[in-house]
Each structure stands twice: as structure tokens, then as C-alpha cells.
Structure 1
Amino acid sequence: MAMCTRSLKMPARYRRSVSAGVGGGVLAALLALLLAAPDATAGEIRAAVRDRDGKPVADAVVVAVPAAGTASASHPGVAEEDQRNKEFVPHVLPVQAGTRVSFPNNDNIRHHVYSFSPAKTFELPLYSGTPASPVLFDKPGVIVLGCNIHDWMVGYIYVSESPHFAKTGADGKATLGGLPGGDYTLRVWHPQLEGGEQATARQLAVPSSGAVDAATTIGLVPDFRARRAPTPGRGGY
């Protein structure tokens, strides 16, 4: 099987150490450090998302789709959508298609997690602890999570077709790093996004080395989640 490698030039002091017999361990450590170093030729997108009043928007998912296609050698792996204090944590979880998501319940009561979303319909009947098997999310789209016991518990899993995505923090900013240079379509999604995600799409040229800034303004609709029940001991559940 062919492997893609890059040329490594060893400093003279390490060549002397190896030739003197100090060698194998030093050489292995040097190679590990060089191969683990970030690719200096990769580009990045510094995204900023604000609402129409100019306020930063947290929990917005920013996705960059390469014009050449979304083929990637990355392995999505496993992510986690927790349940704590009768809430889904995180409120928005972005993952790449092919990711398996675990749903641990860290509350001292049982939850019943479900979704009727077209991108993934599933149900985890009333349980505590961690279900034995994570759920595979293999189709791009937005999955709305709910709990059959607590109506206000709503969470979102955004499944991206591209490996290049990030979620904004409280400052409305997110960085998409390690991008090969080229043309991309940039999109933004948020649970309260007004209109469709495709309306936010824009073309962006990413340099092979360095960063490009991308500011997006979106409209938001009110949050229509059910009101949280009172605290335990005061009629809550």
C-alpha cells in the first residue's frame, strides 16, 4: 500500500547522536515530533456570526464544503451528548456524517431520549447511566432531540457532510483550521435561524497558507421551547 510522506531534514546534532550509537530512541522521538507538528501550509477560516442587532451569536455551526467535493480520510469516531440537570449538554453538537454519538445520563433520574427528525429517527427508552451502544448518525442534516419525560429538554445534533466545521462560542467566533487551499462554500446554521441554511451560503477562497476572515449576519426567531418545570420540591419533576 502506497503511503504519502514528506521529506524530513534531520539537524546535524541528531545525525551525530545517531551515528554515535545514541540513536534509535532519539530518532524515533524526533520523527514523532515532526510528524505530529501542524501543517504550516494549511489554511483557515476565522468566522464571526452576529445577529441583525450586531450581537454575537453563540452555538452557530459554521460549515465549509470544498468545491472539489467532501472526500476525506478523517475518521469521525465517537462523540457525546450528555444529560445533566435535566438538559442536553451541549445544546448544539456538530458532528461529521459517520459519527457515533453516546448519550450518557448523568442525572439521578431516568430520561427517555428520542428524535423524529428525517435525518435520524431513533429512541432510547427510559434509562439511567449510559446505553450500551452509541447511535450512528450517517446522514447529513439536523436532528432535534427530545425527552419524553421532560418537555423542555431540547437539543440539536448537526450532522455535516464535510469534515470542516466548527461551533461559535459566546463571542460569536469560530475557527476552521487545517483546510487545504481552494474554493469553498461556507454555510451557517443555528437552532433559531430565520429562513433556510442555504440562504447563508457564500463562496470563499481559502489560501493554502494563512487565514481568511468571514463575517456572517443572520436573523433569529424567538426560542419556542417549553417552559422548564419548577425545581424539585416545588412541583417539579
Structure 2
Amino acid sequence: MDCLRLVPLALTCLAAPAQAGDLNLKLVDTAGRPVGDAVVTVRPAGGIPPGPIRFSWPTTMVQQNIAFAPHVLVVPVGTTVRFPNKDKVRHHVYSFSKPAKFEIKLFGQDETRSYTFTSTGAVALGCNIHDQMSGFIKVVDTPFAIKSDAAGTARLVGMATGTAQVTIWHPLLKAKDNEIVVNIPIPGSGAASKTVPLTLRSGR
């Protein structure tokens, strides 16, 4: 075939967009109430696209008002998370979780410490000084990850068409490792919408 005839064909192939769809989830408890702070991660049928993973929110967990803020933070694996202390008292951050066992010893107001998370999974945080403090960092290896808002909604966009493996994690979820997996077909265009009921332990 003439080379000149091949060029338009190649350009047509490059210009054709890959099929991609979105996912809209509504997460509720067994009483139908919205569930916030649930982490949704998706592995599309076509796999995870190459390249670094970055999210739009800060990779910071603040100690303020004797609490971790946000209560749940989602970060890509390999992220260094900053822990600024905005309280007038000192804090001591620690975790016994398998993906990250560490402790950050006492540091005071307007001081910041940090830790790099090198393994995926859920990391539960506490403070040795204030037993009521708890926080969670979900370390993920997919760019398709989001935390549900106060209305229980979670939306992810631009995933390859096909059946996707969707994992839903929540610190109070009654399931192994506090997570469940559902398979949801992603359309070639538009959005898949689904309401997922979650059975939670008491403590909401």
C-alpha cells in the first residue's frame, strides 16, 4: 500500500478516543442513611494506566481540636504525609497497622512531623496522649480512588469500559479487613450508577 495512503489511516487511529465511562455510587447503611468517609477504589477492566498517581486533595493530616483532620485520608503508595500540630497541647502519633508500623514522638504546637507510606492498605492512627483520637490513612495503588462525602456519594470518571472491580472500605464496615468487593460494569460512555448498602458496626 502506498505510504501516503497509510498516513491518514494512522492519524485516524490516533484521533479515535478510547471508550471510557464514569461510576456514580451512593453508599448507605442498613437504615438507608448516607455513609461518609468510605474509600472507594476501582480497578478497571483494562487495568491501571501507567504513570504516577496524584490526587487533588492535600496529603496532610492535621492534629486540631484533639482530633485528626481529615478523619480518613486517601493517599497514593509512596506518599509522604505531613502531620502538623495545630493544638496547644503536644501529640504523639502512632500506628500498629500491618502496612505501616511507626511512631512519631511528642511534638508541640505549630510543629510538623512526617512519614512515608510505602505499602498499600488501611493504616489506623492513634495518639498515646489522647486516647479519644483516631484517624485512618488508606494507601492505594490506583488513580481511581475517592472518599464518599457526607451525602454518601462517590464519583469516579474516565475508566475503561468493561467490568470493574470496585472495593469499598470503611473503618466500621462489618467485613474482613473492613472492606467489600463488588463488580460493576462500566459503560463505554455515560455513567454506571449504583446504591450499595453497607453493614456497619456501632460507633457511627
Alpha-carbon distance in structure 2 between the residues aligned to 1:198 and 1:169: 18
More RCO (CA 8 Å, sep 6+): 2
**1:131 aligned to 102, 112, 115, which one?**
112
Gaps of 5+ in 1: 1-5, 8-38, 225-237
Which structure's CA Rg is the greater one?
Answer: 1
Q: 1:138 offset after TM fit, Å?
A: 1.9
Q: TM-score, normalised by structure 1?
A: 0.72
Q: 1:209 offset after TM fit, Å?
A: 2.4
Contact 1:76-1:99 within 8 A present in 2 as well = no
Deviations 1:177-199 (A, max 9, x none): 23233331011111110112586
Tell me how large the CA RMSD over aligned residues is: 2.3
Of 65-74 and 51-60, deviating more is 65-74
Amino acid of the structure 1 residue aligned with 2:139: V
Structure 1 vs Structure 2: percent identity of aligned residues? 37
Of 138-147 and 194-203, deviating more is 194-203
Aligned to 1:36: none
Quick check: which one's strand share is greater? 2
Contact 1:194-1:221 within 8 A present in 2 as well = yes
Q: TM-score, normalised by structure 2?
A: 0.82
Alpha-carbon distance in structure 2 between the residues aligned to 1:48 and 1:107: 35
- Extract structure 1 runs of 4+ deviating beyond 6 A: none
Alpha-carbon distance in structure 2 between the residues aligned to 1:159 and 1:79: 11
Aligned to 1:54: 32
**1:203 aligned to 183, 186, 189, which one?**
183
1:159 aligns with 2:148: no
Alpha-carbon distance in structure 1 between the residues aligned to 2:94 and 2:145: 25
Counterpart secondary structure, 1:179: strand
Amino acid of the structure 1 residue aligned with 2:34: P
Contact 1:49-1:57 within 8 A present in 2 as well = yes
Mapping of residues 156-195 of structure 1, within 5 Å:
156-195=136-175
Distance 1:64 1:197, change over 3 A: farther
Deviations 1:141-189 (A, max 9, x none): 1100000100000000111222211111111111112323333101111
Alpha-carbon distance in structure 1 between the residues aligned to 2:33 and 2:81: 32
1:73 aligns with 2:51: yes
Deviations 1:51-77 (A, max 9, x none): 111111111111111244335313348
